[in-house]
Structure 1
Amino acid sequence: MSRARLFEPVHVGGLEVPSRLWMPPMCQYSAAAEGAGMGMPGDWHRLHYGTRALGGVGAVIVEATGVVPEGRISVNCLSFHEDARIPAFGDLARLIHAGGAAAFIQLNHAGRKGSARAGWLEGHAGGEEGGWQVVGPSPIPFAPGWPVPRELTDEDVQGVVEAFAQAARRAVEAGFDGVQVHAAHGYLIHQFLSPASNHRRDRWGGDFGGRTRLVREVVRAIRGAIGDAALLVRVSATDWTQEYPADGRPGWSLEDTLRLAPLLVEDGVDMVNVSTGGNVHDARIAGGPGYQVFAASAVRDVLGGGGGRTVPVAACGLVLAPEQAEQILADGRADVVEIGRVMLTDPMAPRVWRGRLRVEQGWPEQLRRGTAR
């Protein structure tokens, strides 16, 4: 048997995660839209996350979960806005751990991209469907035909910071190993970061310091609320308007991300998960296998990639084969590789990939009869 870096442990803060192949957060749109069960995890979530943890992934990051009900992406997304939900979310953490993986949860406020119908449906939900008035840093809709967000007041923004901190506290009390702040994909924190969506002139907008104030205050507040638990941040490294290829419109750029990442580490972040896009609806994205790895590599370099590093960087984006994932790590372009689409339809992919890379399989005894002898 050979060794593969993909299946070696990685440290995130004080936590040792058993492998570097992770499952990223992917919305399931399977929670009730209204009533007492609004935003609560149910049987689908328990089956989905427990099975994928059993599949041999090093960590499972539970899907984007609203820090307030109006922070959900869709009316069928999860919400962790009150302590009464701790036992239900605790079930998810327990099942992920039982499968052998570390358990994280992504905390989010969708801002102007909220109040949608389930991901496979078109349009936005009205009040009769459980929908709400969306909010944002500025009254700029995401795209033509999308709702115009109400501009958040200074008091509102401070409330968002506190909502993130309290949701993070609940997550750790529920048994999660840590939380991931969603600062990517055009949701509220990303909306504040980007000059494409943030036209404010108060302390939450304007220059780089103003536009990055929200994410930094959220990170600091969460660190104060969760102690030594792991704190991750997912960023969109670029809006794809300033590079690859540039189109001249304002937007968040890779240069901005490389400036922000060390500040987030100073504020208490234990890991940076790097994605791209989502805030400019018609951006020209240079897609293809591994198309976002360049951004993770750049972040890793600016954080001092190499010997002695303590803040790992994760790459994602059309990583579809074990050889591709292993090469990303071998080349020093990332410390962790996340596979999303593969895990949706093949929850046992990590165990199969171990065999492809000639690593000792490690199948549970209950499943070993199904493997080649």
Structure 2
Amino acid sequence: MAVVNLDEVKPQKEKREQNGQKAIPSTGAPGVRLSGHCPPRELTETLQVSYFTPIQNYPSGSAANPQPDGKPLPKLFTPLQIRGLTLHNRIMLSPLCQYSAENGHHTLWHFQHLGGIVSRGPGLAMVESTAVLPEGRVTPQCSGIWLDSQIEPLKRMTDFAHSQGQKMGIQIGHGGRKASTVAPWLSKGAVATEEVGGWPSDVKAPSAIPYDKEYAVPRAMTTQDIEDFKAAYGAAVKRALKAGFDVIEIHSGHGRLLHQFLSPASNVRTDKYGGSFENRTRLTLEVVELTRAIIPDSMPLFIRISATDWLENTPYEGPSWTVEDSVRLAPLLADRGVDLIDVSSGGLHPAQKIDQVPNYQAPFAMRIKKAVGDRALVSTVGRIVKGKQANDLLEGKDGEPLDLTAVGRMFQKEPGLVWTWAEELGVQIHVANQIRWGFSRDKTIAQK
């Protein structure tokens, strides 16, 4: 086995340059350059990291162009341009809460969880729901972005992603009445008391209505609480920019704070933030406006919504948030600069009855897409497990064509899901060099 003396690397590099040999731009390691042909993508933006990492010829997960068989690409593997950002495919890693942060700071668990998926090439990887205030966490171990010290661990991840030619977004939100619980593998909904780092006496929501009898009873937010939340949200967005994210996603679904304001099942306020549809949607629209005003014009803005509370035909007999409400809200979001509406559902009320068949949320996304047309992109998520299934949703085989597929648990099970789906669809893709070289006879991956 050959042994390389790292002390000799810099002199060898200098000797090559003295002899007129062209060197590829630095990978970030002091004094280290890699000689050879220049890969066909720009390198300068992807190599701003403080450690050595080999250059990738193409982003992992991007389709070979042209394909060896000459066939057109299925829509799932075509690029997607959103403002100034280009995604190399239309597969998004959905936000996946890991309940592994330390005082809101990401840990090595987050780095390995995200890094293993990002290096295998979804078009966009979305970081889990990240709280704008400490009391906005669902558990004491949730991700946070209320402190400047939380920027560096996040930036470590975005720097790595960018060094691989990959894109990252962050979902920003507040748990509202679902805050101060323990990690779900310990209990579904048990209150996190002060003894385990919780804050059950400081849980806030639109109204003093608990999620259920097991959760803390929230305090109805005052007008000042709402103003403080908006200020914290704006500060969190600014930190996300410093952390290097490519996309901001506002979390207005899954029973979190903004969803709680939207739904009359959790919002019984009588001020300007409650009552009518216009009042209940006010805070979400204000957050959209303040976020769009902070981020660059070239930066995409996403929002995740729950299309329905799933409370029709249940023992719950009161009013709720419905698909019709979401269809009405969608154009208002588009008018305020939302680029993509990420359509999920449920999470607001324990009486919900969800029929989790394959593609069970896609019909909601299709109705919303029909309402906004070309004014906004629309994605769907939920029980999407096969490449053909995902591609059919984008190509409109069963209704209105969608723009992006979000996938969560399947990536937890299979970090290389992009490759698996490419194989299913007969698409040849690029794979990270460190993985590709061991599959030199595999015709499903591009070998240069």
State the TM-score bracket (shorter-chain normalisation): over 0.9
Cα contact 1:49–1:96 (8 A) shared by 2: no
Name the aligned partner's letter for residue 357 of structure 1: L
Computing the radius of gyration from Cα coordinates, the structure with the larger value is 2
| Mapping for residues 83-94 of structure 1, pairs under 5 Å | 83-94=148-159
Name the aligned partner's letter for residue 279 of structure 1: L
Aligned identity (percent) is 38
* Match status 1:361 vs 2:436: no
1:11 Cα deviation from its structure 2 partner:
2.1
In structure 2, what is the Cα distance between the partners aligned to 1:104 and 1:361? 23
Cα contact 2:211–2:348 (8 A) shared by 1: yes
Q: Which of 192, 197, 202 is residue 266 of structure 2 equivalent to?
A: 197
In structure 2, what is the Cα distance between the partners aligned to 1:187 and 1:363? 37
* Match status 1:131 vs 2:189: no
In structure 2, what is the Cα distance between the partners aligned to 1:290 and 1:369? 36
Give 5+ residue unaligned stretches, structure 2: 1-68, 443-448
* Match status 1:238 vs 2:305: no
1:50 Cα deviation from its structure 2 partner:
1.4
In structure 1, what is the Cα distance between the partners aligned to 2:401 and 2:311? 23
* Match status 1:266 vs 2:331: no
In structure 2, what is the Cα distance between the partners aligned to 1:353 and 1:46? 24
In structure 2, what is the Cα distance between the partners aligned to 1:152 and 1:248? 25
Cα contact 1:273–1:314 (8 A) shared by 2: yes
Give 5+ residue unaligned stretches, structure 1: 33-37
In structure 2, what is the Cα distance between the partners aligned to 1:165 and 1:152? 18
| Mapping for residues 68-87 of structure 1, pairs under 5 Å | 68-87=133-152
Q: What is residue 132 of structure 2 aligned with on the other side?
A: 67
1:224 Cα deviation from its structure 2 partner:
1.3
Give a deviation string over 1:177-218, Cα, whole Å, max 9, x none: 121000000010000000000000001101001100110011
In structure 2, what is the Cα distance between the partners aligned to 1:312 and 1:24? 16
Q: Which of 22, 47, 60 is residue 92 of structure 2 equivalent to?
A: 22
Name the aligned partner's letter for residue 73 of structure 1: V
In structure 1, what is the Cα distance between the partners aligned to 2:338 and 2:315? 30
Name the aligned partner's letter for residue 26 of structure 1: L
* Match status 1:350 vs 2:433: no
Q: Greater CA deviation, 50-59 or 81-90?
A: 81-90
* Match status 1:44 vs 2:109: yes
Give a deviation string over 1:89-144, Cα, whole Å, max 9, x none: 11121122234321100001000001111121111211111111211000001012
1:310 Cα deviation from its structure 2 partner:
5.1
Q: State the number of aligned residues.
A: 363
Cα contact 2:106–2:150 (8 A) shared by 1: no
In structure 2, what is the Cα distance between the partners aligned to 1:120 and 1:55? 27
Q: Greater CA deviation, 143-152 or 230-239?
A: 143-152
* Match status 1:170 vs 2:235: no
1:271 Cα deviation from its structure 2 partner:
0.9
Aligned residue for 2:127, secondary structure, equals strand
In structure 2, what is the Cα distance between the partners aligned to 1:164 and 1:180? 12
Q: Greater CA deviation, 7-16 or 286-295?
A: 7-16
Aligned residue for 1:79, secondary structure, equals coil
In structure 2, what is the Cα distance between the partners aligned to 1:16 and 1:251? 37
Cα contact 2:387–2:421 (8 A) shared by 1: yes
Cα contact 1:162–1:221 (8 A) shared by 2: no
Aligned residue for 2:422, secondary structure, equals helix
TM superposition score normalised by structure 2 = 0.78
Name the aligned partner's letter for residue 222 of structure 2: T
Q: What is residue 119 of structure 1 aligned with on the other side?
A: 184
1:248 Cα deviation from its structure 2 partner:
4.3
In structure 1, what is the Cα distance between the partners aligned to 2:275 and 2:337? 24
Cα contact 2:327–2:371 (8 A) shared by 1: yes
Give a deviation string over 1:314-367, Cα, whole Å, max 9, x none: 100000111100111111431000111110021111012112111112122221
| Mapping for residues 194-233 of structure 1, pairs under 5 Å | 194-228=263-297, 229-233=299-303
Aligned residue for 1:96, secondary structure, equals helix
1:246 Cα deviation from its structure 2 partner:
9.8
Cα contact 1:293–1:333 (8 A) shared by 2: no
1:264 Cα deviation from its structure 2 partner:
1.0
Cα contact 1:316–1:337 (8 A) shared by 2: yes
Q: What is residue 35 of structure 1 aligned with on the other side?
A: none
Q: Greater CA deviation, 325-334 or 152-161?
A: 325-334
Moved segments of 4+, more than 6 Å: none
Q: Greater CA deviation, 119-128 or 97-106?
A: 97-106
In structure 2, what is the Cα distance between the partners aligned to 1:136 and 1:227? 31
Aligned residue for 1:299, secondary structure, equals helix
Aligned residue for 1:367, secondary structure, equals helix
In structure 2, what is the Cα distance between the partners aligned to 1:98 and 1:237? 36
1:47 Cα deviation from its structure 2 partner:
1.2
Q: Greater CA deviation, 208-217 or 115-124?
A: 115-124
